[in-house]
Amino acid sequence: MKSSYRNSEKTRELVKAQLEERFGPEIASSYDPFTNVMTMRDWNKYGYRIKKGEKALKSVTMVEKKDQNGEVIKRYPKRVCLFHEIQCEKVGN
């Protein structure tokens, strides 16, 4: 499984701090943004669902708007809701 994480150190630290606050230092130290924290869409794609009552971890990603030539004309932040693997369960068998 691979997430859509884009290698931002700032967002990595933001999510890690939330994990430590919510689930403790052990979970935070095992945090890998490429494999164990993903959006609901990514978890669903891999056959998992979010457990009932779980609250999302909040993050931000930068979105680039490009013109017809592929030149970036605007960058803006977009909120992202993420879930750690302990907040998920495998669907089916």
Block means of pLDDT (10 residues each) for the chain, 93 residues, are 81 95 96 94 96 96 90 92 97 77
Of the CA atoms within 13 Å of residue 7, those in its CB half-sphere come to 0
Structural domain contains residue 73: yes
Structural domain contains residue 66: yes
Task: List the domain range (segments joined by +) for residue 14.
Answer: 9-90
Structural domain contains residue 2: no
Structural domain contains residue 81: yes
Give the three-class secondary structure for 13.
Answer: helix
Write down the pLDDT at residue 18: 97
Of the CA atoms within 13 Å of residue 65, those in its CB half-sphere come to 6
Structural domain contains residue 42: yes
Structural domain contains residue 44: yes
Backbone angles phi, psi at 38, to 5 degrees: -145, 170
Q: Pairing mode, if any, of strands 37-38 and 57-66?
A: unpaired
Residues contacting residue 42 through CB under 8 Å, at least 6 positions apart:
1, 3, 4
Q: Record the pTM.
A: 0.85
Q: How many structural domains compose the chain?
A: 1
Structural domain contains residue 65: yes
Write down the pLDDT at residue 28: 96
